Structures are given as structure tokens and as C-alpha cells.
Structure 1
Amino acid sequence: MAEDSTETSITAAEPTPTATASIDPELAGKLQEPSFEIIHTINSAAPPVGLQPGQSPYQAYQAYQAPASPQSSVASDEEITIDDTFDEDGDSAYDSGSLQSDTTSLLSHITKYRYENNRRYHAYKDGEYWGPNDEQQSNQLDIAHHLFLLTMGGRLFLAPIGDNPQNVLDIGTGTGIWALDFADQYPSARVTGFDLSPIQPQWVAPNLRFEINDACDPDWGYSKQSFDFIHVRAMYGSVAHWPAFYQQVLDNLAPGGWYQQLEMSVVLKSDDGSVREGSIFDQWGKVSLEAGDKFGKDLRIHEQIKGYVTDAGFVDVVETVYRYPVGPWAKDPFIKSVGEWNRIHWQEGIEGWSMALLTRVLNWSYTEVQAYLGKMRGALKDNSIHAYHIV
């Protein structure tokens, strides 16, 4: 599922209806329309760590970026140049006393997973999320982590959080790979990651803690204003009421804290018309959006974040959009590498992204889903289709 990618940086002040969002002019010229992934960094009212008097959040964000990004970038507003020589036929700080009991204990029923259509799904809050939690989907999540690092020049985040973050929260942590890397990079920080599934490693650094929790719960159980940095990635289709979610984020951020979110679009497109109306890639986006709507947790958050966070009271929003090619059809070596990894990402992910939504929500049979996925796999190998999505 994919489309362009968007990245948004937001400073959060005390909740106020007059909060405004601004995009640095230097960035504006590079933006693509929102797609597969959106990163929003949000900072609250007190001057954020690293923000100098008179300095915009985007200037601080730019100053913090290191190492330098590759010269080639998927964030360019120019069309991705197709490699004409490519063989199109070939495939190449929480308060521990306040935590709720269900966030601190892995009870036996939490690991009594649902097995359905040859995939494994979470048991805690059974049915609230459509993604599997088995090894195949874990592989997809870790491949996605590599893709995002590749896009951001090896960085785990873009928000200017300073050199000494103290309390960090990773919502929807999945395999925990982002939290693991962050805890290693900042050994003095206390890092908490939570998810519906206990699929994270048991043995981790002493400054890292994994918990079972639900992002849709009305109270996550942490002391208010306790986190310097809250990170969210690939939560599309996971939250029924995003305004309430963003209010919780704001409530849990300390003054001067930052929020960053990265999301992907489920719509595939092309600039040369190779993603044709009615084709399997075209169907993918339409079917996925329909299923998400009927499930009650739509898949369009990548294009809604900016409005939601602004309404919640966050200010100074910086949004960056990336185009992720699907397959190594681009001429530029860096973008070609992104496309190759993204194709692997899709090959690993499409069954998990669709199986539960199509069978539980749209009432497709297992056989119908597999036939549909067979067409998708064939299209993913077709390098004459110059598809991309936003991240």
C-alpha cells in the first residue's frame, strides 16, 4: 500500500485555539503531495531543547540534521527519472507507580494468539488491529525500519530533541527495533515502547522497557507531561478517533517536548500513466481504503495529521513528503536502492496488510485473497510499472 511520503515537524505550545502551523519556505519547494509516510515532530510551549531565540523550529530541525543526507533524495519535487537501461523484464520518564496492571504484566491470555488463514494475530484487544504479529510481519516491520533509516540519512528521527533526551515514548513499537536503537544511542534516556503484541525481545538495555498497551485507550497510564519525545510510526488504520489520540500525546508531552509521526499512504500512483485505471495497483488503493473505512479506522491519516495536530494545539508544523518508488526502476542509484528495498518491503507485507481486512471486513474468501495477492506479486515484479507511493 503506498503513495507519496510526508514529514511534518510541529512545535506544541500550551493547548490554544490560536496555534498556527508554518512550513519553512526552503522546505515548501521540496514538498510532494502527502503519501505513504508522514513524519510530524511536535514541540510544546516552552522553547524546545536546541531552539534558539528567534529561531524557527524548521531552522533548528535543519541545524540538527547530521550526518548529511545523500545528494540524491526521494524528497525532491521533481519526477523520479526512469532508468532507460534497466531490464524491465528482469527481477532483480514514566511514573512506575501509576502504570496500569495490564501495561506492566504479560499475562498468559495475552499470548493466546488468534490463528487465522495461516497468520497469527494479537490476543490483547482481539480484533482491534488488522495486522499479524508473526515472524513474516516482523520481517516486514524490520525492513521498513531499514527503509526509513535509508531515507533519513541513517537518523532515527528528525526532530531537534537535543543531545540529552530523558524520557521517550514509542507508540505502536512493533518489534521494538526503533526503541532498541534509540536506547542504544541515548543510554541516559529512559525509553518506553508499547504495543498490543508482546513480540519485542525480552532481554534489552536497562534503560528500555516494553509494555502492553492500547493507543486507543482513553488513558495510557503515564504521569502527565512526562515525555520529552514521543515517536509514532506506521499507525495508519490503528486509531478510530485521531483527535482524542493527539490530545493524549499533547497531555503526555513535557513543555518543550517533541512529537514525530511517520505514516504511509496506501495509494499507488505513477507519473507516466503506467499505473492504469482498473489495474491491480489501482485496485489495491481503492480496496484498502474501502476496507479501512468499513473497519472504522481509515487509512488516510498521512493526509490528515497536519490538520489534526493543529486543531489539538500544536504549532510550527514542518511537513516533508517523500516519494517511494516500488521497484528499482529509477535511474538515480540512491533512489534505485530505495525502490529495491521498498519492493521487498511490499512483497513481505502485502498479505499481512490485507488478509484480515479483506476476510473479516469485506467478507472475501481466503482463496479470493490469495488470487488477488498473486496479481499484486506479479505487478511488483513488473519493472515497466513505475509505481510509487508517499512516505
Structure 2
Amino acid sequence: MTGMIDRFTTASDVYEWGFQTATPASHKFSTSAQTIQVRVNPRSDAGHSRYYSHSVAASDRTRSRQPSSAMDLYTLIDRDPIDKDPRRNARFTSNGSVATQASHASNASQISRSSPIIISDRKIPEKYPNHQENGRMYHGYRRGIYPLPCDEEEQDRLDIFHKLILDLGCGTGIWSIEVANKFPDSFVVGVDLAPIQPTNTPKNCDFYAPFDFESPWTMGEDSWDIIHMQMGCGSVASWPSLYRRVFQHLKPGGWFEQVEIDFRPRVEDKDGEPGRAMANWYSTLKHATEATMRPLAHSSNETIRNLQEAGFTEIDHQIVGLPMNPWHPDSHEQKVARWYNLAISESVQPMCLAPFSRVLSWTREQIDRIAFDVKQEAFDKRIKTYNLLHIYQARKPVEE
């Protein structure tokens, strides 16, 4: 780590591989609503383009962020390591005690797993006033325990080294753990409804579950440098509300990153069609999840519009094709396809089990049958089916 968190790379091999190794060519076009930067892989002259990106001009302050190469598909750059925002009241606390800014970084990794995460906006009690020593400001609470100052100069130094990262819907915690290991001077918090995360984690990583990110957060507004989320479609009732909450809890200049898969089956052949079972599975799942008010279907246009309306700028959108089997002639895409085939094969039945049984009253036998048929089509190389992986990165504007 060189003074700031320059880049984040997902723990998922599918995202880490990317799909191309050459720097894409750039083409620009515009619509009445937005300016789009499209980057097309030079190898895709035969209609096999698997990747493009566009940056949306959400305001006059918006500027495009282009990865240095197509292998940098999944990156998040922090351009402002020193946050001079004067509102520095948000603090991690454990068992209700308030931590000073100076001790914040060292105490963050000491948060007890048995106690809920609390970030307080309270100020230090007046009976523990900060004090001057050697021309610097030091903390008054438990005076002398922490040796470093707590004035604004020290706060700027801490902001360089100690980035706060929140992983929404962290699942098993694999992304949180890998980021914590890669950036030991950051502190990563993962939250999820299910307490399925490991207990043996890096000292700068902690998990809090059960946690419903659609309920009110007690995590301090303007507190987080990065908020990350992936695979949220199907579990969110109101994306506009969630984006507003994310925006409120990011520091000015902080970044939000979201990764989603659009499971609508697509085919490479212009005149081809996806398998009948796969098309039926997706349309039925789309209908069932819409009935629960938590739709699985993903719309990139709607996502970008919701991010803009929440106040985000510098919105970057990248798309990667995920082949369902190794039908593509490129050896690298074949490797990705084998892993994605395994992932989708293991996901078909769990994804539809609850929606089909609860909403549509399907029997387990009916669900197992359609899942089996979908898997058979996913293995068939004659059906050149793929899904789209969407990666969004958006910034909360720096206050002027």
C-alpha cells in the first residue's frame, strides 16, 4: 500500500480474469440524455464483442475514468486520499464507548463480534477535553494511552492509511477477506442477513450478521470511503432508497461499486435463440420475483438513472460477457466459460426453489425437472448462450 488504496480487485476469479488482454479501441457517440464512452475489443471484428464500457456524464463535474487495459475491468480508484471534510464526528464504538479520531484506526480492528456495529455521531464528553502538548492536540479520554496526536494534521495522515470499506450482502465474506488481506492498512466491514461468514478473519476485517441493509443503518453518515455490493438483484425492494442510503453514508469523494449478473439468456448467433428450457426458466423466475417485489431482472439504464438521481457522479459502467459453456474459439474465454458453467449449473435450482414454490406453488419435482433441463442446455455447445456481467462504479461528489 502506497499511501492510499489505489485499486481493488474482486476475489472472484471470473471478474479477476476479465475477458480480454488487449487494450480496447475507443469510440464515442452521444444521445440526448447522456454521453457514452464505448470501448470495443479490437479482436471482435467478427461480431464477437464480449466487453464494452461507458461513462455517464451525470453533471458538469463528471469525468470519465478509463482502466489502463481491459484486464483492469474491476478496479476502484481513490483519487482523494486526504479528506478535508470538517465533519469528523462519526466514530466506531464498542459497547457504547466513543473512540477518538486518533484512536479510531487502532480501535477499529478491536470491535467485538458479539456486539453490533455502532458508529456514533456523538462528540467526546466535555469532562475529557483534548489537550495541547508539544504544539499538537492529544486526546483527553483515557489520556496518555494512545501516543499519537488527534488534531486535523493527524486526521489527514490517518485518512491516507486507514480506509473504511463496507461490503453489503457479503455472503461468505470472500471479497471482504481478500480486500482486507490485500490492503492491511484498511478496515473492511461485511454485513449480511445470514451469519455464514468465517470467524478466523484478518485483524482488519469484521462481519456483522444478521444485518438487513434495507433497514435503517446505525453506521454513521459520511463515514465510508468505499461501499461495495454484488449480486443484489432479487433481494432489494427499492433500489432508489438503497442508493440514497449508500450515498448518505459515503464520505465526500467516496466510491460505490456494484456488480450484477443479468441472467436473461442471450445467444451469440444473430439468428439463434436460447434453449427453450433456459428461456422458460428465466421468464418464470422473472415473473415470480417481481411478484415478491424484489425482482431479479436487471436494467442497466434504470440502474444508471437511479444512481444519478441519488446524487452520484463519475458513473462508470462496464459489461462483460459470460459464456455458459466453452463454445467460443478463444482459449481464455473457454477457461472463463468452464468456471461460469460450474457456477450457473450450481445456481439454477437454488435460485428458483423458493420463488417457484412460494409464489407459483410448484412442487419440488417440477422445480428439479426444469433445473435439470436448463443444466442440459447449459452444457450444449451448439447453443451459444451467454449472460452479461455489469460493473458499476459511482462517486459521491467532493464538497466544494
The residue that corresponds to 1:379 in the other structure is 377
Correspondence for 1:258 among 240, 255, 266: 255
Partner of 2:244: 247
User: Radius of gyration: which is bigger?
Assistant: 2
CA contact (8 A) 2:168 2:229 kept: yes
Q: Which has the higher strand share?
A: 2
Check the 8 A contact 2:166/2:226 in 1, yes or no.
yes
In the alignment, which of 263, 269, 273 is matched to residue 276 of structure 1?
A: 273
TM-score normalised to structure 1 length = 0.63
Residue pair 2:356, 2:367 contacting (<8 A) in 1 also: yes
The answer for the alignment partner of 1:142 in structure 2 is none
Aligned to 2:144: none
SS in 1 for 2:373: helix
Secondary structure of 2:349's counterpart equals helix
Q: CA deviation at 1:356?
A: 0.8
2:67 aligned with 1:62, yes or no?
yes
Question: Normalization by structure 2: what TM-score?
Answer: 0.62
Q: Which of 287, 292, 307 is residue 289 of structure 2 equivalent to?
A: 292
* Inter-CA distance 179–282: structure 2 relative to 1 (3 Å threshold): same
- C-alpha separation between the residues in 1 aligned to 2:191 and 2:54? 19
Tell me if structure 1 keeps the 8 A contact 2:275–2:383: no
Pairwise CA distance, 1:271: 2.9
- Offset, 1:333: 1.1
Aligned-pair CA distance for 1:317: 1.3
User: CA 1:278–1:329 in 2, change beyond 3 Å: closer, same or farther?
Assistant: closer
Number of equivalent positions: 278
Cα distance in 1 for partners of 2:283, 2:183 equals 42
Deviation, structure 1 residue 278? 7.2
SS of residue in 1 equivalent to 2:219: coil
Residue identity opposite 2:228 in structure 1: H
Structure 1: state its 5+ residue gaps.
8-19, 46-53, 74-92, 108-161
Following superposition, the deviation at residue 163 of structure 1 comes to 8.0
Matches within 5 A, 1:78-117: 95-97=92-94, 105=114
| Aligned-partner Cα distance in 2 for 1:38–1:172 | 27
Contact 1:23-1:317 at 8 Å conserved across structures: no
- Indicate conservation of the 8 Å contact 2:177/2:205, yes or no: yes
Whichever residue aligns with residue 62 of structure 1, its letter is P
Q: How do 1:1-391 and structure 2 match up within 5 A?
A: 25=37, 27=38, 29=40, 57-59=63-65, 61-62=66-67, 69=71, 95-97=92-94, 105=114, 164=161, 166-212=163-209, 213-217=211-215, 219-272=216-269, 276=273, 279-303=276-300, 304-391=302-389
- Report deviation, 1:227: 0.3
Q: Cα distance, 1:362 vs. partner?
A: 1.4
Cα distance, 1:62 vs structure 2: 2.5
* Alpha-carbon distance in 1 for matches of 2:261, 2:342: 16
2:370 and 2:161 mapped to 1: Cα distance? 48
CA distance in 1, matches of 2:184, 2:379: 42
CA separation of 1:311 and 1:182: change in aligned 2, threshold 3 A? same
For structure 2, list consecutive stretches of 5 or more residues without a partner in the other structure.
1-14, 19-31, 45-49, 74-89, 97-111, 117-158, 390-400
1:39 shift after superposition: 10
- Offset, 1:184: 0.3
| Contact residue 358 and residue 364 of structure 1 kept, 8 A | yes
Q: 1:389 to 1:278 in 2, by over 3 A?
A: closer
CA distance in 2, matches of 1:363, 1:38: 40
Give the letter for the 1:344 counterpart: L
SS at match of 1:359: helix
**CA contact under 8 A between 1:327 and 1:343: conserved in structure 2?**
yes
Would the alpha carbon gap of residues 22 and 230 (structure 1) be closer, same or farther in structure 2, given more than 3 Å must change?
Answer: farther
Point out which structure has higher relative CO (alpha carbons under 8 A, 6+ apart): 1
C-alpha distance in structure 1 between counterparts of 2:313 and 2:67, whole Å: 17
Residue 209 of structure 1 aligns to a residue in which SS?
strand
2:314 is paired with a residue whose SS is strand
Could you tell me how far apart the structure 2 residues matched to 1:106 and 1:351 are? 36
- How far the C-alpha of 1:248 sits from its partner, in A, is 0.6
The answer to whether the 8 Å contact 1:21/1:317 transfers is no
Aligned CA distance change for structure 1 residues 164 and 300 (closer, same or farther; 3 Å): farther
Q: Is the contact made by 1:275 and 1:282 (CA closer than 8 Å) also made in structure 2?
A: no
Q: Is the 8 A contact 2:265 2:278 kept in 1?
A: yes
Asked whether the 8 Å contact 1:268–1:275 carries over to 2, the reply is no
SS at match of 1:269: strand
Tell me how far apart the structure 2 counterparts of residues 305 and 370 of structure 1 sit (CA, whole Å): 32
Q: CA deviation at 1:97?
A: 5.0
Q: Distance in 2 between matches of 1:296 and 1:344?
A: 29
Contact 1:288 1:354 in 2 (8 A): yes
**For 1:246-277, what per-residue CA distance to the aligned partner results, in whole angstroms no more than 9, with x for missing partners?**
01100110011000001011210113268637
* Residues in 2 aligned to 1:306 and 1:207: alpha-carbon distance in whole angstroms: 32
Q: Name the Cα RMSD after superposition.
A: 3.8
**In structure 2, C-alpha distance between the alignment counterparts of 1:309 and 1:29, rounded to whole Å:** 24
